[in-house]
Amino acid sequence: MKFDQKILIVRFSSIGDIVQSTSPLKSIRNAFPDSPITFLTLSSYAPLLEMHPDIDCLLSLKRRQSFKKLFEMRKYLQNKRFHFVYDLHNSIRSNILTYGISKNIFRLKKPRLKRSLLFLLHINNFENTFSSLRLFHDNIGSIWKNKDEIPSTYLKISKYEKEKAKEILISKGVKKDFIAIVPGAAWNQKQWSSKNYISALNKLNLSAVILGSKKDKICDEISLGYKKAINLAGKTDLRLAVSIISNAKKIIGSDTGLVHAAEALGKTVVMIMGPTSKETGGGTYKKKSTIVEKDIWCRPCSQNGKFPCYRSSQKCMDSILPEDVVSAFLRPDKL
């Protein structure tokens, strides 16, 4: 491959999807080992990809950007003369920015019809091997030659960041093995109850560090109900949160971004899944990780779990017992 075959990859959001996009990023790097790769994302998520070994240039946009700024960015990208563009988002914004800037543009084709049939009629036409990582790879062209080989996701944390996070934890009294808990999610329907988290943590009897955003009220509820919890929700930036996760024994949480990030750091994950599934882009990928879920006819019910349940109680989450999560946590890592 020629060195001047410059490559642009676009994925704007969210944390989980950006983490998952590092898998096709590796395949693209393997196909073009000597070509400079530029990755474009939103500024709020760009820190996630800092120091990534397969990214030569990291560009970002603000979430709310004027059309003037968008077209200025498009002009900049056009002047870079990229040989290949991989639009792993395929949104209106990504189309505006990349339309016509290269002769070789590969866009993510989302399985909207299959998902609609699944959500509305519960007809599952997805193959058993389907996953978000495979979906990304199906849309990067002929460079993905070995259809049975999908690279793992990957994030880079420096030794300094990991040690700094450890110092912060020690200052808060966390000196031994701890669990990282990520109970929040963009939609409440994807959250297991604080009562169940507290019950599970009491059974495990380990120190727990709770991560999330300020708006995740569930984090406050868990910290009030479990004595060995340190609540850092809303008190860390993205890099620090990921650095803390890199020090954790295991991670328990929702089908949400930081849990996907944990797997990209090589950590063992226990993911509690309710209204979402692998067909919606959720789930774990590492063999040693575990998904805790119940086989209920009405799930998955939406792409990201945002639709309220038609029942008075959300059976897909409420039927998951603390004992189920404790059992998954104590299970030896899968080989």
Q: How many residues does the chain have?
A: 335
With both helix axes pointing from N to C terminus, report the angle between 322-330 and 194-204 in degrees, rounded to the nearest 10: 40
Percent of the residues in the chain that have a pLDDT greater than 70, as a whole number: 98
| Strand bridging mode 229-231 / 207-210 | parallel
Residue 3 has pLDDT above 80, yes or no: no
Alpha-carbon distance values, 102 to 6, 34, 37, 59, 190 (Å): 10, 19, 14, 18, 39
Are 82 and 101 in contact, with CB atoms under 8 Å apart?
A: yes
Q: Which of 288, 172, 287, 186 is nearest to 240 (CA)?
A: 172
pLDDT of residue 148: 84
Whole-number average pLDDT of the chain: 95
Confidence band of 14 (pLDDT split at 50, 70, 90): very high
CA distances from 2 to 6, 58, 83, 150, 221 (A): 9, 21, 11, 25, 56
d(CA 292, CA 254): 10
Per-residue pLDDT at 4: 62
pLDDT at 146 (0 to 100): 85
pLDDT in tens, 282-317: 999 999 999 999 999 999 999 888 889 988 889 999
Q: What radius of gyration, in Å, describes the C-alpha atoms of the chain?
A: 20
Taking the CA of residue 234 as centre, how many other CA atoms within 13 Å lie in the half-sphere pointing to its CB? 9
What pLDDT does 72 receive? Answer: 95
pTM of the model: 0.94
pLDDT given for residue 1 in this prediction: 46
pLDDT at 244 over 50: yes
What are the pLDDT digits (tens) for 54-110? 999 999 999 998 889 999 999 999 999 999 999 999 999 999 999 999 999 999 999
**Residue 140: per-residue pLDDT:** 97
Residue 36 CA: distances (Å) to CA of 56, 106, 219, 298: 6, 17, 41, 45
pLDDT, residue 334, reads 54
Q: What is the mean pLDDT of residues 18-26?
A: 98
The yes-or-no verdict on residue 153 having pLDDT over 80 is yes
Residue ranges of domains in the chain, CATH in brackets: 7-143 (3.40.50.2000), 159-330 (3.40.50.2000)
Question: What span, in angstroms and rounded, lies between the C-alpha atoms of 81 and 74?
Answer: 11
Query: E strands within 43-175?
Result: 57-61, 84-87, 105-107
Confidence category of residue 176, pLDDT binned at 50, 70, 90: confident
Asked whether the predicted pLDDT for residue 171 surpasses 70, the reply is: yes
Rounded distance between C-alpha atoms, residue 211 and residue 258, angstroms: 9
**What average pLDDT score do residues 1-11 get?**
80
- Residue 169 carries which side chain, given as an amino acid letter? L
Residue 135 makes CB contacts below 8 A (sequence gap 6+) with 108, 110, 111, 281
CA distance 145 to 133: 15
Q: Is 280 exposed, middle or buried (0-12, 13-18, 19+ CB in 10 A)?
A: buried
3-state secondary structure of 297: coil
Q: Residue 71, by phi and psi: left (phi above 0), alpha (psi -120 to 50) or beta?
A: alpha
Looking at residues 253-257, what average pLDDT do you find? Answer: 96
pLDDT at 263 over 60: yes
The confidence score (pLDDT) of residue 335 equals 43
Structure tokens at 263: 């797997």
DSSP-assigned beta bridge partners for residue 290: 270
